């Protein structure tokens, strides 16, 4: 069975299942990457596809040509994450100045993720999650809400709405906050950056799963 996949809004493929697994293993694609194969009516996140069975949660076949992609909300999340990587890499030649852009892009991902869990049970709002994170002194407590509670609420929504996908690691979110509080006394900056990148990736993947599943359900 041949598969197509999307990277930054661009259709790639076709490739076989072994290649998809290889791309997932080396980090070229993630569980939120949209994939399609003959027999699927829409693109779906890789997390919703069982490659070992050689099939996805297939809907009636409508075409042997991949349908148009890509969901604009998911595309925005992917672009934000890509530019966060670019700005982080650029900090090596800008003497850390572009780290401001990295932080900004990270917080935009956080904001958009909080938007998806506003079901009446969310710990806070997107505006408060971001704004309160920059209040001097207060932010040291608020980071636990903005980052760890976000992981918890994303997992809660995915569980309540029966959305397949890998949950966000609440332990990783906790360590991210601890690294922020301890840096630079205990945690080196590079450790905080690495944890933050992994956490942002998990936020993005969970948010993409929620967006796509809700749209599939509504259609």
Residues 210, 119 contacting (CB under 8 angstroms): no
- Residue 7: phi and psi, rounded to 5, are -130, 120
Q: Which of the four pLDDT bands, split at 50, 70 and 90, describes residue 34?
A: confident
pLDDT in tens, 72-112: 898 899 999 999 999 998 987 887 788 899 999 999 999 99
Determine phi and psi for 109, rounding to 5 degrees.
-60, -40
| Residue at token pair 């509504």 | 218
**pLDDT, position 67:** 61
* 27 Rama sector, left if φ>0, alpha if ψ -120 to 50, beta otherwise: left
| pLDDT tens-digit readout, 104-127 | 999 999 999 999 999 999 999 999
**Each residue's pLDDT tens digit, 158-195:** 999 998 888 999 999 999 999 999 876 766 788 889 99
Rounded CA-CA distance 118/149 in Å is 13
Cα angle 49, 55, 60 (rounded to 5 degrees) comes to 100
CB 70, CB 34: distance < 8 Å: yes
pLDDT at 204: 95
Would you say residue 62 has pLDDT above 60?
no
Q: How far is CA 48 from CA 45, 55, 174, in A?
A: 6, 10, 27
Q: Which run of H or of E encompasses 129? A: helix 126-131
């Amino acid at each position: 069975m041949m598969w197509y996949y999307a990277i930054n809004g661009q259709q790639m493929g076709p490739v076989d299942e072994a290649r998809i697994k290889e791309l997932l293993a080396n980090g070229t694609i993630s569980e939120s990457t949209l994939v399609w194969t003959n027999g699927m009516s829409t693109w779906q996140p890789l997390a919703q596809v069982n490659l070992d069975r050689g099939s996805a949660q297939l809907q009636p076949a409508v075409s042997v040509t991949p349908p148009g992609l890509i969901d604009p909300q998911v595309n925005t999340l992917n672009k934000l994450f890509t530019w966060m990587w670019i700005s982080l890499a650029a900090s090596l030649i800008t003497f850390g100045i572009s780290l401001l852009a990295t932080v900004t892009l990270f917080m935009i991902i956080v904001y958009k993720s909080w938007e998806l869990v506003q079901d009446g049970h969310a710990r806070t709002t997107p505006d408060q999650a971001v704004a309160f994170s920059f209040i001097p002194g207060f932010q040291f407590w608020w980071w636990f809400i903005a980052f760890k509670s976000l992981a918890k609420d994303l997992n809660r929504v995915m569980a309540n709405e029966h959305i397949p996908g890998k949950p966000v690691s609440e332990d990783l979110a906790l360590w991210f906050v601890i690294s922020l509080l301890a840096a630079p006394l205990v945690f080196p900056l590079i450790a905080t950056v690495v944890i933050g990148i992994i956490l942002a990736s998990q936020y993005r993947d969970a948010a993409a799963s929620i967006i796509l599943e809700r749209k599939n359900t509504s259609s």
